Structure 1
């Protein structure tokens, strides 16, 4: 720890950008904001539900139509492959979450190991991942609501009120509404919003289990033959496609400052949520290709509804999709506010974002500002390639978490670890490699959008964050005290 302080007190630009916040200070500062502190009210069940809620959403409802034509009946293997890839990073998240149980997730882990600039970049990636993905998911929610209205009432919202200007509408009203509803739930307090999220997670899980029961009853053995019509290459391509259905399992790590027993429960919640989601994905994909021949999935957006067929099946899946997407909006919006809370506490974004409401114990201004911005984004902006950039931002953050495990294993082997990633350093290295491989598979427009976002982030950091860094002020104070100390000869 002394070495970290000593290096941070160096005045050179390079040393300033690489200054690390000691782990002990990160833990001590955790949950403390302007005017109060976050409340520790969440147990293992709520933490697990936050991660399941952020993960189990639009992916499984729409991804089969894109993944099955690539892998055929072996699409379940693609989910297993993607799940193993996610597991490599989940193991690192579990180790760090138990060791550094704070609100900032991978941003805080990077601050302790790789320095302030890398931490800022990581936090900026998380803002992209959470913020833009919430807007993109909210846009999809409007489409599911329209489908449910059509099936149950025979009506639908006009395009002018259900699509942004670039897509032939005026404003996407449902997209803005679901973000505002999530904001209201979050303003009630972490424990209260966790209850709402748990109820929605239960509903969408039951929906998928019912789908499996109905689809398995209609399975035909011939639909599984040949099992690998496009070979292992097809399974690999489908795995890259469905990997993004796993994004969100890290959401529990953003709740570190509000968990009752974070060192014990955070690692368990991360691993449990990933296990639950993987099992559901594999069961749903097996049931789907067993009930409908894989060649019929091409070009199908609502693949699960097509598998069940009939009015009742379509209504069931539409209800599940509406609840699933709303749950994702709630859980991911929660994560976004907590990452900004941690960055604000460190002075890298304005202190307003870490101001805690003394009555509810939540960062109210933070929640309102973020929800308002995302609601407008979802309502009026066609997201296009920018939405795809959330994937590359997520993978970059995952890679940094794996690197952070390697660094802390070497620099702070003395820190207590309630969970240790097995087979380290092999698993973290494989985690970095798998994230790099996934990033390399993304298209050029995604890289361009990501590069533009990073440039904006660097401008913000050098214009505001570097000058207002709490760690910089702390180090400067320490330097002054050292210089004022009498010299003993």
Structure 2
């Protein structure tokens, strides 16, 4: 019989699941993987988070994005190595399970529920802002405040936020390949919209807006980074597709690196042009900020309408990616026996976890309906930062423990990049609000208590029994199996 210490530290092998385990269909290529990364990031930090970050950092929010990009970039490289070495569903959870042990993996699972579940709610709230602006510009009418904002903001329930989550969930239920195709189309559209914004915003450039560049000093810049950091969650989303990616050891690292380069360039370009076009004081509390900036420059509603349409498409794709990531992480945890089996049941026709998706849809809809965006953003950031921290530590441990493990990508400069990533994540976490850190610690503690009484005893590594092959209806001989299209 294993001791408690052995249970807490037991690790899963760094190999894909066996043929008799529940599994997903490999149908996602390099381009779609890259678009998952871009789709999960571009939109959140650009279309609405500036109204929260600029008041904290002033014009120096540009450096907030740069710092966030550097930390995310260092971590993305760590993800690239880890994804190439451990190409399975579950992202950071699976990486922690393979390197740091079962108890740590369960704690990381708690982080990922914040990173994806709360992020889904946060971006859905931002979506509702642009829906209202579009309705106002096109029809002279908007959804009443009581049905478009959280109670703390003067409303009753945020109906548009719930609608976008339901729509994305229905699309995910249809299948991963269909979802990623739609996502790729939306990502291309929103890149064009962001470039359109930058082109117009630069025509309203005013250098005076950059006076008093960092009113709150370095602490304000780092605080701004903490607020916007959840906008880099899409890099992690690429690795959640490890079990559905074609040629994962090659394509996962490449997709993460390509997505990183695209989003950092667009984030910095957009924040510079936005601040050049509008005084920092006007950002505070501003809904649908980018659209309003263009309307003020050209004194017409049509540019704002284009941005609003782009934002609606953009944030829809972010919501889609966040929901996708959340369901795949829960799938991996359920397959390991750490949470109830309902989360790993796969529909034999679509090869997607349908019941899992419905449960996530309900929970995130409730969060989006009643919680304001600023609190959601910080909670997502701390979950993302801790997940990034674990991956960076995991890279070091895996190199020591399994130096000869096949890796699709290996970091240069030895341990330098993981160590820098660890330091950057810790520095940003220390600048978050105390209430955010305390809520995070309490949530993680509750999750670990659940593990102690449930997951520890039902873990596949404890029972020796594979939970897999859970399906909603029995398989038949003509069911398409993973890998049939490779």
Give me the TM-score of the superposition, normalised by structure 1. 0.88
Alpha-carbon deviations, 1:177-217, whole Å to 9, x = none? 11110011111111100111112212211111111111223
Is the contact made by 1:65 and 1:297 (CA closer than 8 Å) also made in structure 2?
yes
2:447 matched residue in structure 1? 457
Alpha-carbon deviations, 1:70-96, whole Å to 9, x = none? 665554343222211111111110000
The answer to whether the aligner puts 1:467 opposite 2:453 as a matched pair is no
C-alpha separation in 2, matches of 1:407 and 1:295: 46
Could you tell me which of 116, 125, 128 is aligned with 2:102?
116
Say which one has the larger Rg.
1
More deviation, 39-48/321-330: 321-330
Could you tell me which of 2, 26, 33 is aligned with 1:11?
2
The 1:29/1:129 distance shift into structure 2, 3 A limit, reads: farther
The answer to whether the aligner puts 1:397 opposite 2:387 as a matched pair is yes
C-alpha separation in 1, matches of 2:454 and 2:217: 52
Alignment of 1:150-161 (within 5 A): 150-161=136-147
C-alpha separation in 2, matches of 1:64 and 1:220: 18
Is the contact made by 1:30 and 1:102 (CA closer than 8 Å) also made in structure 2?
no
Alignment of 1:303-314 (within 5 A): 303-308=289-294, 309=296, 310=299, 311-314=301-304
Is the contact made by 1:71 and 1:238 (CA closer than 8 Å) also made in structure 2?
yes
Alignment of 1:249-264 (within 5 A): 249-264=235-250
Alpha-carbon deviations, 1:265-310, whole Å to 9, x = none? 1011111111111110111122223334556545545442343223
SS of alignment partner, residue 204 of structure 2? coil
1:372 matched residue in structure 2? 362
Is the contact made by 2:115 and 2:230 (CA closer than 8 Å) also made in structure 1?
no
Could you tell me which of 197, 200, 214 is aligned with 1:214?
200
The answer to whether the aligner puts 1:436 opposite 2:426 as a matched pair is yes
Is the contact made by 2:171 and 2:179 (CA closer than 8 Å) also made in structure 1?
yes
Is the contact made by 1:386 and 1:446 (CA closer than 8 Å) also made in structure 2?
no
Gaps of 5+ in 2: 467-486
The 1:138/1:291 distance shift into structure 2, 3 A limit, reads: closer
The 1:157/1:171 distance shift into structure 2, 3 A limit, reads: same
SS of alignment partner, residue 23 of structure 1? coil
Is the contact made by 2:59 and 2:280 (CA closer than 8 Å) also made in structure 1?
yes
**TM-align CA RMSD:** 2.5
Is the contact made by 1:30 and 1:103 (CA closer than 8 Å) also made in structure 2?
no
1:333 matched residue in structure 2? 323
Alpha-carbon deviations, 1:312-358, whole Å to 9, x = none? 22212222221222111100000000001100110111122111111
Structure 1 residue 228, shift from structure 2 partner? 7.0
Structure 1 residue 365, shift from structure 2 partner? 1.5
Give me the TM-score of the superposition, normalised by structure 2. 0.88
Structure 1 residue 165, shift from structure 2 partner? 4.6
The answer to whether the aligner puts 1:58 opposite 2:44 as a matched pair is yes
Is the contact made by 2:235 and 2:256 (CA closer than 8 Å) also made in structure 1?
yes
Structure 1 residue 359, shift from structure 2 partner? 0.8
C-alpha separation in 2, matches of 1:13 and 1:231: 47
Gaps of 5+ in 1: 1-9, 477-489
Alpha-carbon deviations, 1:456-479, whole Å to 9, x = none? 202221221111100111299xxx
2:261 matched residue in structure 1? 275
The answer to whether the aligner puts 1:88 opposite 2:74 as a matched pair is yes
More deviation, 245-254/188-197: 245-254
Alpha-carbon deviations, 1:146-176, whole Å to 9, x = none? 2211121111122343234554444322222
Could you tell me which of 155, 180, 205 is aligned with 1:194?
180
